Amino acid sequence: MTSEHLVYEAHGAIARVTLRESAGPAGSTGNVWAALRSAFVAIEASDTVRAALISGAVGAFAFDPSPEASALPDRLEGVGVQDALSVLRMSRVPVVVALRGRVSGAGALLGFSGDWIVVDDEVEFMALDQVLQQAAGLNPGFVFLPALDTAVVSASAVLSGDEAARRGLVTECVESGAARERAEAIVKRLAQGPTRALALTRQLLDESANADFEAQCRRELEVNQVLRTSRDSAEGVQAFLEKRPARFRGE
């Protein structure tokens, strides 16, 4: 699947979504969300994909709103930001994101929607004052980041990769030019894991932001019951007894 905005490739257990440099201009971002949503619909329909990697050219995640816009739009050309990113957050596979260069506007929303976010030390997050509240709505797990001071972050004109990692906005910051390589290593590792359990853990974390204690405990019991009867659960026990690496299938 290839469009003027991104390339989608699925090889074995890993799907790669690569944004083109042309994805950044504000006038074209609507089609980016449509293409992104289509890519994750394809992932959901796949019998083999077990992890996804989102990356792009330098500047591909710089989605700048038009000068006259006072806030990031909810919808662009028919497919909305929330439409696309909700599909991503509900994905049955873990999602790794690699960020380089300038990251701004709705591109930051996309970057912050990953489960594991790798940046290099030359990345620059800009204009986050419009982004953080929406990011927390799309990725409720943000509310659990103890180092995240949204007031300080929002007031910063530019936030470096190191600072973003220190404040909990991203998972890790690596040396310049190494973000894609590190992200590839992480996505390959996750693809070998119990991906169904990983996706359900993400879902529980997101749900917990708006659930009371009793409701959340009930949901965790329900999910545990589902996972205890899964193929991967039985494989984990058997691998432990046989003292060998587990061969998970995401089932």
Q: Are residues 120 and 210 in the same domain?
A: no
Contact 61, 5 (CB under 8 A): no
Q: Are residues 119 and 154 in the same domain?
A: yes
Q: What tens-digit pLDDT sequence spans the chain (251 residues)?
A: 677 778 999 999 999 999 986 554 444 555 788 888 899 999 999 999 999 999 998 878 987 654 434 444 444 444 567 777 888 888 999 999 999 999 988 888 888 889 999 999 999 988 777 677 666 666 665 544 544 555 555 555 788 999 889 888 899 999 999 999 999 999 999 999 999 999 999 888 888 878 899 999 999 999 999 999 999 999 999 999 999 999 998 88
Q: Are residues 148 and 176 in the same domain?
A: yes
Token couple for 232:
């991967």
Q: Are residues 29 and 79 in the same domain?
A: yes
Q: Print the domain residue range for 235.
A: 195-242
Token couple for 164:
């973003």
Q: Does residue 249 belong to any structural domain of this protein?
A: no
How many domains is the chain partitioned into structurally? 2
Q: Are residues 34 and 135 in the same domain?
A: yes
Q: Are residues 185 and 227 in the same domain?
A: no
Q: Are residues 125 and 208 in the same domain?
A: no
Please tell me the distance from the alpha carbon of residue 222 to that of residue 230, in angstroms, as a whole number.
Answer: 13
CATH number, domain with residue 119: 3.90.226.10
Please tell me the distance from the alpha carbon of residue 26 to that of residue 58, in angstroms, as a whole number.
Answer: 16
Give the pLDDT confidence score for residue 34 in this predicted structure: 85
Q: Are residues 171 and 206 in the same domain?
A: no
Q: Are residues 18 and 50 in the same domain?
A: yes
